[in-house]
Amino acid sequence: SNDTRYAINLSQHADKAGADALLVVTPYYNKCTQKGLIKHFTSIADNVNVPIILYDVPSRTGVGIKPETYAVLAEHPRIAAVKEASGNISQVAETMSLCGDKLTFYSGNDDQVIPLMSLGAQGVISVLSNIMPQQTHDMCQLFFDGKVAEAAKKQIEYIPLIQALFCEVNPIPVKVALRLMGFNMGPLRMPLCEMEDAHLEQLKTAMRKFNLIK
């Protein structure tokens, strides 16, 4: 939420319901300062008993977490990890340098999994894995097994499908993709709407390449 009090309420509800961890996005629209981000995330972490994963996705929220801000937040015992979707690999490297082993990093972009893992990220919180879970796992496992060139080859191979999954705003394409695969996903809820015909064909073409649909 972009309302800290409400975010705390939601987080406590998830904590009591048995959540193993919380994925907490930067407050959207209000676009608070870095000081505000520190207060927001710290307030949530102070009021729950489970680990928190910070979610940095400025393209969707309008505000990003700076490396120096990460360094402050990393000192909190319940702020454990980061889903990093800024797309700025140089900034991620700087953040890792400042935080050391105090934060675990995950790619938030399916097209940057192996590049971020090469810097020390531990995997990906993924859209692609909704339709290709085994392949997404195997790509990461290749890297962990030291087969970096093979992992990078898979990363590049999957780029057309990843691009198709983001040809319109997430989660429209991935929900449509799962529907095409036979899963009962139900309708999209407004303001999300059905894909444009050209984008739908792009998605179908990419899915056929990986035998996800006929």
Burial (0-12, 13-18, 19+ Cβ within 10 Å), 46? exposed
* Residues listed for the chain: 214
* 28, 29, 31, 55: the active-site residue: 55
Per the annotation, the verdict on 83 as an active-site residue is yes
Q: Which residues contact 48 (CB under 8 A, 6 or more apart)?
A: 8, 11, 12, 15, 22, 78
Cα distances (angstroms) measured from residue 131 to each of 45, 103, 139, 189: 32, 28, 14, 20
Peptide bond into 171 cis (omega under 30): yes
Q: Can you tell me the distance from the alpha carbon of 20 to that of 41, in angstroms, rounded to the nearest whole number?
A: 17
Q: Mutual orientation of helices 148-157 and 133-144 as an angle, nearest 10°?
A: 150
Question: 3-class SS at 194?
Answer: coil
Q: Which of 70, 83, 106, 175 is catalytic?
A: 83
Residue 106 annotated to the active site: no
Counting Cβ atoms within 10 Å, is residue 59 exposed (0-12), middle (13-18) or buried (19+)?
A: exposed
What positions carry a catalytic annotation?
Answer: 55, 83
